[in-house]
């Protein structure tokens, strides 16, 4: 069995777990932090907005049971991809949206999916969700796991 990872930032990480963890082929969804410049950040540090980290989820999945395309489609349905100041009531850089790709295939699929969404006419504003190389992922504190 091949296991792969997918990492997404979409506002508060608590809200990003449930949409993914109920699918066959998804082994785990971990809340955490990525993309910043401080090692081993704490929730308090990330919440202040100075660490550069995104609140994110790291999904481990079996690509023979659920495709990366399906996971990306689920992701787009959870966020407002036109909001560069956070998501919904959660404001600040730590709540921005991003797709963190783990390999070239993921990057290509993410870019194509973003372009397809932009071309769809569903949004009147530009899609601002960034597509970035995966960085070190730091799991959040235990009390943030499986919060909902």
Q: Which candidate in 6, 12, 15, 134 is catalytic?
A: 12
What span, in angstroms and rounded, lies between the C-alpha atoms of 63 and 47? 33
Cβ atoms of residues 81 and 117 within 8 Å: yes
CA distances from 146 to 14, 16, 32, 85 (A): 8, 10, 12, 25
Which distant-in-sequence residues (6+ apart) come within 8 Å of 71 by Cβ? 6, 20, 59, 61
Rounded Cα–Cα distance for residues 32 and 40 (Å): 10
- Is residue 15 part of the annotated active site? The answer reads no
Max Cα distance, the chain (Å)? 42
Report how far residue 141's alpha carbon sits from residue 1's, in angstroms, rounded to the nearest whole number.
Answer: 29
Q: Indicate which residues carry an active-site annotation.
A: 12
């Amino acid at each position: 069995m091949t296991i792969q990872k997918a990492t997404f930032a979409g506002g508060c990480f608590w809200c990003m777990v449930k949409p993914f963890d109920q699918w066959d082929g998804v082994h785990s969804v971990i809340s955490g932090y990525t993309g910043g410049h401080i090692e081993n950040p704490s929730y308090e540090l990330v919440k202040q907005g100075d660490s550069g980290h995104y609140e994110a989820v790291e999904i481990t999945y079996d690509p023979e049971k659920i495709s990366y395309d399906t996971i990306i489609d689920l992701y787009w349905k959870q966020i407002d991809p036109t909001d560069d100041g956070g998501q919904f009531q959660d404001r600040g850089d730590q709540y921005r949206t991003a797709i963190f790709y783990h390999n070239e295939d993921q990057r290509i699929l993410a870019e194509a999916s973003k372009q397809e969404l932009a071309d769809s006419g569903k949004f009147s504003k530009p899609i601002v969700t960034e597509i970035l190389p995966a960085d070190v992922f730091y799991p959040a504190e235990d009390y943030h796991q499986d919060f909902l």
